[in-house]
Structure formats: structure tokens, C-alpha cells
Amino acid sequence: MGTTRTTEILVGAFMAAGFLALFFLSMRVSNLSAGDGADGYALTARFDNIGSLKVRAPVSMAGVRLGRVEDIRFDADTYQAVVTLRIDGAYDRLPTDTFANIYTAGLLGEQYVALDPGGSQDYLGDGDQIEHTQSALVLEQMIGQFLFDKAQEGSE
């Protein structure tokens, strides 16, 4: 009887350790604890060019993460990209004239949406659209523009 009891205790400890490890992986290693899913509110923004922005990319203001990119669609009428941003419910006081830019983290890093606050007294709510946007900088375009300007300087 004693050996059965020992086996039971050891199996119990094994399963507890296994589930503890799973819990550690979920909470400490992955982003499950960082608030996931449909809480918060949605904003949309239209960009002429989103570069290589991906769904789940961070949305930040002043370098602090406020939410993430939830959805990216293409508007066939205006030929623009419609980006849906899911903002954490705690940050519900973004002015209506907030400015949305697409920046790159580091030189080769991934792209993210950076918000710049405006001065309006009214705040954005669920489903509102951010009017002021700036597209992603495409390196080839910048280099092309630079070469073009140089050529202009030379001809003057």
C-alpha cells in the first residue's frame, strides 16, 4: 500500500510541475498576460502606403505601447490601406486630431504605428477614424528622391 501512495504522490508532483511549467510558458514567456483579444476600443486610419506593416504590430505613443494593429484592409475606391488599431481601454483620452505615423524600429526592425497627440479637447472613441496620417517611408523612394534632387542641383 505504501508504494502505491508514493507513486500517487510522485505522479501528483510530476503533473503539478508540468502544469506549472506550462503556466510559466504562457504567462512569463509569451504575451498572454499582456492583455489579449477584444478588450479596448478600435480606431481606423487610412494610409497611402503602409510599407511592410503587419497585423499585431505595436501601436505606441511617446514610445509606450498603447495597443496593436488588429486588421489591415485595402479600400478599392480610394486605393488606400485601411488599418484598424485596437487601443487598450485604459488610454481613452486620445485627442481627435491625433497624428498617426508609420515608423521603423531601428534601422532594419519591424514597422509600427506611432501616435502623436494633437491639441483638441474632444477625444477619440470606438470606431472613430484618425484623419491625420503619414505613410511609411520607403527607402527606395527616399533614395530616388535624393538622386533626383542632386541631379536638379547639378543642372542649375
Partner 1 sequence: MLTDALARLGRSGIGAIAGIGRAHLLLVAVLGGLPALVTRPRLLLAQIYNVGVLSVLIIAVSGLFVGMVLGLQGYYVLSQFGAEESLGVMVAASLARELGPVVTALLVAGRAGSALTAEIGLMKATEQLSALEMMAVDPIRRILTPRFLGGFLAMPLLAAMFSTLGVLGGWFVGVGLLGVDDGAFWSQMQAKLDFREDVLNGVIKSLVFGVVVTWIALFQGYDATPTSAGVSRATTRSVVHAALAVLGLDFILTALMFGE
The answer to whether 15 contacts partner 1 (rule: CB under 8 A) is yes
Binding mask 61-80 for partner 1 (x = CB under 8 A): ----x---------------
Nearer to partner 1, 33 or 121 (CB): 33
Among 2, 5, 36, 95, binds partner 1 (CB under 8 A): 36
The answer to whether 11 contacts partner 1 (rule: CB under 8 A) is yes
CB contact set of 127 (below 8 Å; sequence gap of 6+):
41, 42, 43, 44
Q: How far apart are CA 70 and CA 125, in angstroms?
A: 16
Phi first, then psi, for residue 102 (nearest 5°) are -105, 115
Kindly state the greatest CA–CA separation across the chain.
99
Q: How far apart are CA 54 and CA 52, in angstroms?
A: 6
Among 55, 56, 89, 129, binds partner 1 (CB under 8 A): 56
Binding residue count for partner 1, defined by CB under 8 A: 27
The answer to whether 35 contacts partner 1 (rule: CB under 8 A) is no
How many CB atoms are closer than 10 A to CB 102? 24
The answer to whether 31 contacts partner 1 (rule: CB under 8 A) is yes
Helix, strand, or coil (residue 23): helix
Which residues of the chain form contacts with partner 1 (CB under 8 A)? 4, 7-8, 10-11, 13-15, 17-19, 21-22, 24-26, 28-34, 36, 56, 58, 65
